[in-house]
Structure 1
Amino acid sequence: MAKMQISKGSEARQAEYFPCRPAFGTSGRPVVLWANYFEMKVQHQPLFKYQLEVKPVAQKEKKLQAKDAKGLKLMNIIKTALQKVGPDHPLVTEFKNQVITLRSLTLPDNKTVVVDYTLEGHEDQYEVLFNGPIDVDLPAMFRYLTTMDDPSGSVSFPRHEDVIDALNVIMGHSPRGNSQIASIGRSRFFPIDQQTRQTESLSLGWNEAIRGYFQSARPATGRLLLNANVSHGVFRPAGPARNLFTPPALYDKRTLHKNMSKLRARVTYYDDTGNAKRVVVKMLQGLAIPYLAEGKEANPPKVTEIGATAGKVQFYLTGPTGSNKLTANKYYTRPVYMPAEAVEIIPGQPLQRKLNARETPTLINFACRSPVANATSITTFGRKCFQLDGNEKLSEFGVKIEKDLLTINGRELKNPAIRYKNHKDAFPREGSWNMKRVNVLKPGGKIDWWTFVHVDPHPRGDDKTAVTHIMNGEFTKVLTNMGIPIAEKPMHPQGLVVDTRSKHPVVAVRAVFDQVKESKGAKGAQYVFVILAQNDPDIYAAVKTLGDTEFGIHTTCMVRKHFLKGKPMDQYFANVGLKINLKMGGNNHQIKNDIAIIREGKTMVVGYDVTHPPPGSNAPSLVGLVASVDKELSQWPAAAWAQDSRVEILDQTLQAKFGERLVLWQNKNQGRLPENIIIFRDGVSEGQFKQVLDKELPLIREACRGKYPANSTGPKITVVVSVKRHQTRFFPTHSQHMTKSHNVATGTVVDRGVTQAKIWDFFLVAHAALQGTARPAHYTVLLDEVFRSTLGQGIAAANGIQELTHEMCYMFGRATKAVSICPPAYYADIVCTRQRAYMPDLFSDTSDTASVGGASSTSRGGFGNDISKTVHPNLKNSMYYI
């Protein structure tokens, strides 16, 4: 397999976009692994696909017309429609808009089926239109997987997406149709029955995390695979509504109302004798408290008994003429009030908001499991959840899933040696090393003018004294011993104080920055260290926004508890020092044996990423772009901007910002422009790969045309997509090839077994996961004009890009360990995070409501929703964001 070459004919057709894999890599020590995939055996038979359209039927005699069907309602309508058209047909569906069959359905001439729907207490009708059928050419996909050759010469990606989509409908039909399994999205399934579900309580029992499973069909060389992984979701409460009120002392009315809002429930209606009459599905609006505010509800609604009919439910309508007691019968347009005993909340309703600071650690701890635990869950509970064994529906469609996880071949790349000043080297073990008795490789500019600031609304004299003593002694001593030049004493020996007791955080922080700026004798402060009483998002946002955008002063925030442990602070201050040196233009370390393609100083490496707002928010998406300026890959100045909300592909701004990176490289390299540009594009999905090439690459080339001489051919460009949000995991098969946390060894690379020979991609586990299951980074080459032209067409190019990416993971400047994703992509993500700090109103990490109803109207950081803030000229060409 290592010597497998792709045919020249195939390579010629993809000379530019999606270049063929030049060879499989060979460097490193061979290792046998398990992957979280099962092999799929599928009969090579054609399939038929119908697209469904479900619409309510207008009924003139009805005052209240039917609404569009969603969720469980849509599912029940489609179930009924399929029973009408194909009770004996082999068919599957995802209960939304697709049906896959083995033969054509017998349909009315208009291809429409009318369904009566009464489960929600209304006699509604819906039309289900069957568009199609469309042929799904399963045999053609298997011919491609066997030959790795597409007769059409298409450069689309991913190939045969329609077939994979149809297979996923087949695989998801049974769990999706099971009332004891909740499905989220296209591929995630969660057991919700009391006997088998695995849960962790959140929010004082209101919400719960449930362990579930992900599955997706994936093409690989010569075969089809089912990717299966453990997944975790957060769900809202379920069961009798009366349980939500116990113990009552834990909740106020607002909390109860908020947590019950928009929950779907089964509501039991009773007749006059108190016997159950019918059950309908309704959406809860909350508690029966019209004003919600304490003390404003003089006449609350009354339900006199369990099973009360509408005539026995009383509430008051308050208006200009006073309070008028009405019954639900007489004022039916108001919300229906039901006793909690008559309401049962439907299980499996996912939480839509972002988790708060208390809930997030609980979920992380619940989801953090060893590789062995996850592998065991996949092969036992996962298979049961997916109903892979003894499934008649899968048998009808000729699908069989092998019992065991896939065994594949990988390689373990050697950890590189790390070089510090005076040729002193460190040798990583499990991707980590320390800086004992070494200095940073190259110090940044000297910090002549610096100060520190206490932030504490309730300061204790002893604590303040301890911090002041350390900042005037041990702090600068550690930095100096690291080789970081800094004045021994601060501008303000006692430090300054941010008073947040009587001032808004922004006002208080601005006052301190004004003091720093106006300090007598200061030529202009270069650095402000902020000592926080605790992690404080508001103060942090104010410090970074004012320092980065208005005053042009580097800042670092530290938490006071680290100063009060009574232990030497060498390690903590050393970590802080790494950030300081990078901000000041220094280089902390480099790879002992320079990366070959970089060492000549002719290659610029670029990374960019887009981050999106949380669900329910209309905040903009944020772009971070970084680019190297030296052959040591030590400095990565950045550009950042906002674009339309939830838009992943970049617009025209990319051209201008990329041009700025070229100018900066030129200024740092004696007027020369780079001959090669290697781009790591982070975070795009497979379906967006071609958009990167069709929309973003032309903007990059146009930026180059604007900077390179007219008679120049311009730079050679390679574009690599780096992705962490995928579901592939690897497990060691032998103790000699695992870390202390029982994960695969650092440097593990996989480019076969779960990949396609024709697609140039690979998985890399560069880091050591301290706990949980290590997630590999997935790299896919979309365009290559650098590696094959520099290293050759074969194995050297395959090894070259893998080794470069691996060694770059040891070049993350603020850490003494390898990171999980290559630094250009990592830095770009950090830039986006810093941009969020400039817009705290739009990106609140602590507000429970921000992700539900959009941005708050009350300013948290005092900066409003200004997305136009730019980095101060003093800092814009530095690593201010680190």
Structure 2
Amino acid sequence: MSDTQFLIGTFCRRPTLGNLGRQIRVRSNFFEVLALPTQNIIHYDVTITPDVPPALNRKIFGEFERISREGPLNGIRPVFDGRKNIFAPRSFPFGDTATFNVTLPEDETIPSKRTPRTFKIKIKKAGEIYMDELHRFLQGKHPMTSNCLTATMALDVLIRHLPSMRHVTVGRSFFTNAGAEPLFGGAEVWQGYYQSARPAQEKMLINVDLSATAFYESGPLIQMVTKILGRRNPDDLRRGFSDKDRIKLTPTPASQTMFDAGNGVTTDVADYFARQYGRRLSYSHLPCVTVQKNIYLPLEVCEVVEGQRHIRKLNEKQTADMIKFTCQSPHLRANKIKQGVDILNYRKNEYLKQFGLEVASEMIVIQARVLPVPTLQYHPSSREHSFQPREGSWNLRDKKVAQGAVLGSWAIVAFGSERDLPTQSIQAFIRELVITCQDNGMSIPNRTPPIMHTNSQGDIEGTLKTAWLHAGNAAKAQPQLIVCVLPNTGVPLYAEIKRVTDTVIGVASQCVQSRHMMQAKKQYCANLCLKINVKLGGMNSFISPSQIPFISDKPTILMGADISHPSPGEPSRPSIAALCASMDAKASRYSASIRVQTGRTEIIADLANMTKELLKTFYQTCGRKPERILFYRDGVSEGQFDQVLNGEIKAVRAACMSLEESYKPSITFVVVQKRHHTRFFPLDKRDSDRTGNCLPGTVIESGITHPYEFDFYLQSHAGLQGTSRPTHYHVLFDENTFTSDGLQALSYNLCYVYARCTRAVSLVPPVYYAHIVCRRARFHARDQHWSDTESGSEGDQGTASIFGVVKPELQRVMYFM
């Protein structure tokens, strides 16, 4: 295959490696594959009937392997993915197809009168995986083909096969109850170990990481029910159950739950257990579990079997406990990953041996660089107007925002009574907020905005419209801002405020928690200042133009796109797509476009018109058309790269040409990924921050990256707690001929101008803003019944909601901050 043919249809190839910054070495949670299978791998399709879940499929396959190893399999150790695929190191002796019957013994721990179950396993050869092609792909001499993808999948199945047969598995992770910690409400969190085969330059790697998920605690069901309902002990259940709590339970207690015991005799459950088993129920006043029609079991005789995954959404307390369990320092995480590799015990795995796969026992050590910190600019009148932040964070002391907004017409709405939220306390808070905002460069001629109290359960839309009128009348000017004091962190009130101010009135809003308002701390007011300033069209800070030449040399627009999907329990709800774009040469101001589209579709359906809108806004703001577009796209997995390349890049090009046929700005399209399991651990203490994480600006572009495509990992933020997750940038298309240094430094520098905090953030602001806009747009739907503790709603799942459109006067400012 010639080089020219090879380049067709492939993504952007990596330019020369960068050299900007200080060279360091880091450890990463990848383990090198020292030996790959030299022979081709044989792929078989398997069908198990009747159809059962993967966990039972594995038991059936395990029994088939046990009884067939010396017979039909002739000593071959095949591996199984739990569904449809078997991979073997050589062909089975029985030919291309065969059918076997397997009788699965009953689980001895659960007494049953049922006979052992018989299953039919049909095995059919699907093809052969040519390992030589994978070797050439790793060396950059061959494109990624379906054969290479299947080879990687086979290696994935191979390394997961044995843990999956021995442990509970969820996705690509297996879990063990060793060291399990209880969560509130009858759940517990188990430690898991994720593993995945990944191609890199001239080698395959195994990515091993920690994972965690919630399971139900094993033990008596009555104890579980007690914990779920938040009671102290089973005796407290005497108070009874509400209808909401009574899922799969009888409406009557065991002493009154009647059933047909045969021979025309009707009896209650409690009496039946006393006569049949000589067991007097201790809790005959409690309902029974409905197993099926006419079969009931008292709660106290039921046991919760170990290893059942908790699939309900965790509540706030459970989520907090889960975060405590998973938040581990880099040193501790690295040690636990090492423990996971010891559990996996690759060296003694008989399946790996037969395939000829060898895996190193130590994490890979790779080259990295720490990029130089950019110079941040504030207003020239600031005592410290130009400086380089240290370790990715700074504060607003002695600084004034680069361009302060003027706030003249505003109002305060307190959602609570005068007793709960005294006017005096609100006035004290306003004084502190005004002083802080003015110290930091904003101008607030009206220091005494009108204050009104209202009921948080009342007519929110009517209240906000009244506040808008009060603000306008008091200042004799168009209202700019409504500050809302909230009684709690609940979603419903916040969601309704944002729906009304964004889509009905068209005014910026700032929500404040009552507990923060009562304290009125200067730091909190400074954070509010950053948000209010950009909502009113101001600019907080910018990077020295000489450090972002790609943006400052020619008219350039940065775009960030994301899609937010409904949760799995809301199949009829739509997905929301957001596109954010920079509106100035400093890449500090952004505008947003939103679309509602069919649920769970990953490609942005109306991207062409969204792009067109923002290109027009850029022209109206700057007076020039952008000559270059740098497009960052979030939320795309590797399997969707082709779709994105063919669909979305064409949509951006079509948007440009719809404005003017000859208008063809150069486009660079970069996929941004945070959902991965790559972590970095500094080798030298001098190369780590206070939390033990890598320093902000650590970039890795070799050793664990794609064999030849243009991708890199960038850890742009300082760690706060736990182990920091770097961001993965993968360039799919590049007409701007970026060098490695050019794109890495630009992406890193942009992370310092995220408008609502004084820290470098973990991913580029255009994408961060798109993510926030997606989340905000969920609140623009009418007639939603938002739950207090969750971001989902409890409304009728079958009806499509009517989403409001953000008012034009807000679309050009960063109302979403």
**1: CA distance, partners of 2:63 / 2:42:** 20
1:761 is aligned to 711
**What does the per-residue CA deviation read over 1:201-257, in whole Å, with 9 as the maximum and x for residues that have no partner?**
2223x1111121111011111111110111111112223435425622566899899
**What does the per-residue CA deviation read over 1:254-297, in whole Å, with 9 as the maximum and x for residues that have no partner?**
98998996xxxxxxxxxxxxxxxxxxxxxxxx43x2379x9998
SS at structure 1 position matched to 2:316: coil
Are the aligned partners of 1:306 and 1:341 in contact in 2 as well (CA < 8 Å)? no
SS at structure 2 position matched to 1:216: strand
- Distance verdict in 2 for CA 1:260–1:516, change over 3 Å: closer
> Displacement of 1:858 after TM fit?
10
> Displacement of 1:16 after TM fit?
7.2
Which amino acid is 1:668 matched to? T
Which amino acid is 2:527 matched to? N
Aligned ranges for residues 171-320 of structure 1 at < 5 Å?
Answer: 171-178=159-166, 181-185=167-171, 187-192=172-177, 197-204=178-185, 206-244=186-224, 247-248=233-234, 286-287=248-249, 289-290=250-251, 302-304=269-271
**2: CA distance, partners of 1:109 / 1:182:** 32
- Distance verdict in 2 for CA 1:253–1:165, change over 3 Å: farther
**2: CA distance, partners of 1:248 / 1:608:** 51
**What does the per-residue CA deviation read over 1:89-108, in whole Å, with 9 as the maximum and x for residues that have no partner?**
22111222211111222458
- Distance verdict in 2 for CA 1:336–1:559, change over 3 Å: same
> Displacement of 1:113 after TM fit?
2.8
5+ long unaligned stretches in structure 2: 107-111, 227-232, 260-266, 282-287
Aligned ranges for residues 707-746 of structure 1 at < 5 Å?
Answer: 707-708=659-660, 710-712=661-663, 714-746=664-696
- Distance verdict in 2 for CA 1:117–1:393, change over 3 Å: closer
- Distance verdict in 2 for CA 1:815–1:252, change over 3 Å: farther
> Displacement of 1:602 after TM fit?
1.4
2:229 is aligned to none
> Displacement of 1:427 after TM fit?
2.3
Q: Calculate the TM-score normalised by the size of structure 2.
A: 0.89
**1: CA distance, partners of 2:293 / 2:204:** 56
- Distance verdict in 2 for CA 1:786–1:744, change over 3 Å: same
**What does the per-residue CA deviation read over 1:670-695, in whole Å, with 9 as the maximum and x for residues that have no partner?**
1x211110100002111111110112
Match among 626, 630, 635 for residue 674 of structure 1: 626
- Distance verdict in 2 for CA 1:461–1:94, change over 3 Å: closer
Q: Calculate the TM-score normalised by the size of structure 1.
A: 0.82
**2: CA distance, partners of 1:386 / 1:477:** 60
- Distance verdict in 2 for CA 1:610–1:90, change over 3 Å: same
2:285 is aligned to none
2:806 is aligned to 871
Which amino acid is 1:498 matched to? T
Which amino acid is 1:303 matched to? A
SS at structure 2 position matched to 1:557: strand
**2: CA distance, partners of 1:617 / 1:730:** 36
**2: CA distance, partners of 1:157 / 1:308:** 68
Aligned ranges for residues 663-812 of structure 1 at < 5 Å?
Answer: 663-670=616-623, 672-708=624-660, 710-712=661-663, 714-788=664-738, 797-812=739-754
**2: CA distance, partners of 1:359 / 1:225:** 35
Greater shift, 749-758 or 162-171, is seen at: 749-758
2:454 is aligned to 498
Match among 731, 747, 756 for residue 814 of structure 1: 756
Match among 435, 453, 474 for residue 396 of structure 2: 435
- Distance verdict in 2 for CA 1:9–1:823, change over 3 Å: farther
Are the aligned partners of 1:431 and 1:746 in contact in 2 as well (CA < 8 Å)? yes
Which amino acid is 2:121 matched to? V
Which amino acid is 1:640 matched to? I
> Displacement of 1:595 after TM fit?
0.2
**2: CA distance, partners of 1:462 / 1:868:** 33
- Distance verdict in 2 for CA 1:587–1:399, change over 3 Å: same
Are the aligned partners of 1:450 and 1:490 in contact in 2 as well (CA < 8 Å)? no
- Distance verdict in 2 for CA 1:462–1:608, change over 3 Å: closer
- Distance verdict in 2 for CA 1:549–1:595, change over 3 Å: same
Residue 617 (structure 2) pairs with residue 656 (structure 1)? no
Residue 537 (structure 2) pairs with residue 585 (structure 1)? yes
SS at structure 2 position matched to 1:666: helix
Are the aligned partners of 2:392 and 2:718 in contact in 1 as well (CA < 8 Å)? yes
SS at structure 1 position matched to 2:761: coil
**2: CA distance, partners of 1:158 / 1:364:** 39
Are the aligned partners of 1:837 and 1:843 in contact in 2 as well (CA < 8 Å)? no
Are the aligned partners of 1:716 and 1:786 in contact in 2 as well (CA < 8 Å)? yes
Are the aligned partners of 1:47 and 1:136 in contact in 2 as well (CA < 8 Å)? yes
> Displacement of 1:20 after TM fit?
1.0
CA RMSD of aligned residues (A): 3.3
2:344 is aligned to 386
SS at structure 2 position matched to 1:613: coil
Are the aligned partners of 1:44 and 1:142 in contact in 2 as well (CA < 8 Å)? no
- Distance verdict in 2 for CA 1:134–1:625, change over 3 Å: same
> Displacement of 1:306 after TM fit?
5.8
1:45 is aligned to 39
Aligned ranges for residues 368-767 of structure 1 at < 5 Å?
Answer: 368-380=327-339, 382-422=340-380, 424-444=385-405, 446-456=406-416, 459-460=418-419, 463-471=422-430, 473-492=431-450, 495-500=451-456, 503-504=457-458, 507-517=459-469, 520=473, 522-565=476-519, 569-592=521-544, 593-618=546-571, 619-651=573-605, 653-670=606-623, 672-708=624-660, 710-712=661-663, 714-767=664-717
1:357 is aligned to 316
Identity %: 29
Size of the aligned set, in residue pairs, is 780
SS at structure 2 position matched to 1:617: coil
**What does the per-residue CA deviation read over 1:610-646, in whole Å, with 9 as the maximum and x for residues that have no partner?**
1222222222221111011111111111011222221
**2: CA distance, partners of 1:478 / 1:112:** 77
**What does the per-residue CA deviation read over 1:776-799, in whole Å, with 9 as the maximum and x for residues that have no partner?**
0000000000134xxxxxxxx110
Which amino acid is 2:713 matched to? F
**1: CA distance, partners of 2:727 / 2:237:** 43
> Displacement of 1:307 after TM fit?
8.9
Which amino acid is 2:408 matched to? D
